[in-house]
Homo-oligomer: A and B are copies of this chain.
Amino acid sequence: MDPFADRLANLVRERRSPVLVGLDPRFERLPGELTAAVTSGDAKAQADAYRRFCEGIIDVVASLVAAVKPQLAFFEQLGPAGMDALHATVRYARQRGLLVILDGKRNDIGSTAIGYADAYLGAESAWGGDALTVSPYLGQDSLAPFAEVAVERGAGIFVLVKTSNPGGADFQDLVAGNETLYRHVARHVEELAARSTSASGYGAVGAVVGATYPDQLAELRQLMPHAWLLVPGFGTQGGTAEDVAAAFDADGLGALINASRSIIFAYDRPEYKDRFGADRWQSAVETATREMIGQLGKFASMRDE
């Protein structure tokens, strides 16, 4: 398996799109055709609706973007049936040629971190992810096993550095030794990334940096030149194309801009509601994805090659 960073770079270039579509199913927001026959409290039927919803999104975006990002919380919320749906969704996305970044924000002490890394990273792993999001609070010896397994298996990780929520500042912005905590974490991420670079110039270890803090995004792009950035917070959370411009490198590469609700529930957005409605929810997903790719095009220069 080629390194994750290179597979990602190739697909982003090929599809001319830095958009990362988040798969965040929430039962009450699914189109009626998927939920009409589902009894409240029937986790199996709900999970099946999640799977069909995600597969429907994947069918639409498979030719438009490089990767999808299932949010594990929403699958876990349905118990074992939800996990079956997650497993099926990952397989389906890979079959359709998409990379799958599992958003689980996992971590634990070293010997247990190996368990998580083994569970999620690589085509042959139990869940078959291409990459996993990882939380850094437990320190460097908790990140090392993920980095090692990722390199071995041609997979990747994205370490939380500066998150998109308002509370992200509470601890991440504390200043220790003249530097914020998020910069301390970022320096370590860059070390791990630089150590694992491949043809694309990027490493197996990337970083999560929110679109809602544009100044920090620019600062962190500079600080981590070898790290792919996963940038949440675009769309529903308020981040704009201008806000994320600084996430890209000089070639318009190096960043995935994530949108979840604004794409997957696009049929319910005021500007699309009359045009599509719930029946044509997949057309709304396609239009919202293409619109976002268009908005980012002027900043992500591979659109203009």
A residues with CB within 8 A of B: 24, 43, 71, 73-74, 76-80, 82-84, 87, 103, 105-110, 112-113, 115-116, 118-120, 126-127, 135-142, 160, 163-172, 174-177, 181, 184-185, 188, 232
Contacts and interface: CB of A to CB of B under 8 A. Distances in A.
B139 A136 contact: no
B116 A73 contact: yes
Copies in the complex: 2
B73 A126 contact: no
A112 B166 contact: no
A69 to B, nearest CB: 12
Contacts of A142: 165, 167
A118 B77 CA distance: 6
A73 B136 contact: no
The 6 tightest CB contacts between A and B, nearest first, are: A139-B167, A141-B167, A79-B126, A174-B176, A73-B115, A139-B170
B138 A136 contact: no
A169 B137 CA distance: 10
A231 to B, nearest CB: 14
A126 to B, nearest CB: 3
Contacts of A185: 171
Most buried by B among A79, A136, A175, A177: A79
A149 B72 CA distance: 19
A138 B160 contact: yes
A242 to B, nearest CB: 22
A185 B76 CA distance: 26
A31 to B, nearest CB: 20
B181 A171 contact: yes
A106 B73 contact: yes
Given A109-B165, A181-B171, A181-B176, A78 B126 contact: yes
A139 B174 CA distance: 11
Contacts of A169: 139
A165 B181 contact: no
Contact of A139 (B83, B171, B177): B171
